[in-house]
Chains A and B, each alone.
Chain A
Amino acid sequence: GENVEQHPSTLSVQEGDSAVIKCTYSDSASNYFPWYKQELGKGPQLIIDIRSNVGEKKDQRIAVTLNKTAKHFSLHITETQPEDSAVYFCAASKDTDKLIFGTGTRLQVFP
């Protein structure tokens, strides 16, 4: 079955710096790759997603890139702010259905 690996498990950055989180998936049939942000005591919230027919997508300070050949996708956060501190999960699925999540990255942004 599908397996999603996520790195790093923790990431500490200074406010204003960039943060990059990387994921690798195993099932070449996967075609939908969302990123979720989970704050303490809350459920995951979708922040950006990308489909396999697109190589890159950007939304303000957040961008996601996809390399289908290598089965890699990455989340890029620029100009980080303390409120970006949270746990970030990548996921992969076929046709937006059954999501397989990575193990999460705890991002800490220090003022």
Chain B
Amino acid sequence: EAGVAQSPRYKIIEKRQSVAFWCNPISGHATLYWYQQILGQGPKLLIQFQNNGVVDDSQLPKDRFSAERLKGVDSTLKIQPAKLEDSAVYLCASRSFLGASEQFFGPGTRLTVL
């Protein structure tokens, strides 16, 4: 089966600009996650969707970050405006259903903010 797809793979922007990341989870997976992974650290959860509803966005900096999962399939994560400290890899993961063990990760989008 195809894995989690993310695009773009790399993005370089200047601070105060906007950027958007796209994720296509594994077909049929109801749960979708966005993680932020700063260099040298473990992934940190930003937001969790169950189908097209938000389950947990307690760690999402809502003044600048937004995410949506229209129709419960693809998802986009947006940053507006970007700050230097947003430089990180943004990982998307999906899981088949609540209670299933494994989260499957995509390759990530590496964002550099100059």
CB neighbours of B21 from chain A (8 A):
none
User: Could you tell me if B100 and A96 are in contact, using CB atoms closer than 8 angstroms?
Assistant: yes
Selected contact of B99 from candidates A4, A34, A91, A96, CB within 8 Å: A96
| Residues 32-87 (chain A) with a chain B CB within 8 angstroms | 32, 34, 36, 41-46, 49
The verdict on A43 contacting B56 (CB below 8 Å), with A91-B42, A95-B99, A102-B42 known, is no
CB neighbours of B104 from chain A (8 A):
46
Query: A25 on the interface (CB 8 Å rule)?
Result: no
- The chain A residue with its CB closest to the CB of B103 is A99
User: Could you tell me if B41 and A32 are in contact, using CB atoms closer than 8 angstroms?
Assistant: no
CB neighbours of B93 from chain A (8 A):
43
- The chain B residue with its CB closest to the CB of A4 is B42
Main secondary structure of the interface of B (DSSP, over half): loop
Query: B54 on the interface (CB 8 Å rule)?
Result: no
User: Could you tell me if A43 and B105 are in contact, using CB atoms closer than 8 angstroms?
Assistant: yes
Chain B CB within 10 Å — which of A6, A44, A91, A104 has the most?
A44
- The chain A residue with its CB closest to the CB of B101 is A96
| Residues 61-114 (chain B) with a chain A CB within 8 angstroms | 91, 93, 98-108
Interchain nearest-CB distance for A35 vs B (Å): 12
Interchain nearest-CB distance for B44 vs A (Å): 7
Q: Per-residue 0/1 for B37-48: is the Cβ within 8 Å of any A Cβ (1 yes, 0 no)?
A: 000111111001
User: Could you tell me if B42 and A41 are in contact, using CB atoms closer than 8 angstroms?
Assistant: no
CB neighbours of B107 from chain A (8 A):
41-43
| Residues 1-28 (chain B) with a chain A CB within 8 angstroms | 4
Chain B interface residues toward A at CB < 8 A: 4, 40-45, 48, 56, 91, 93, 98-108
5 contacts between A and B (CB under 8 A): A6-B42, A42-B108, A43-B4, A43-B107, A49-B101
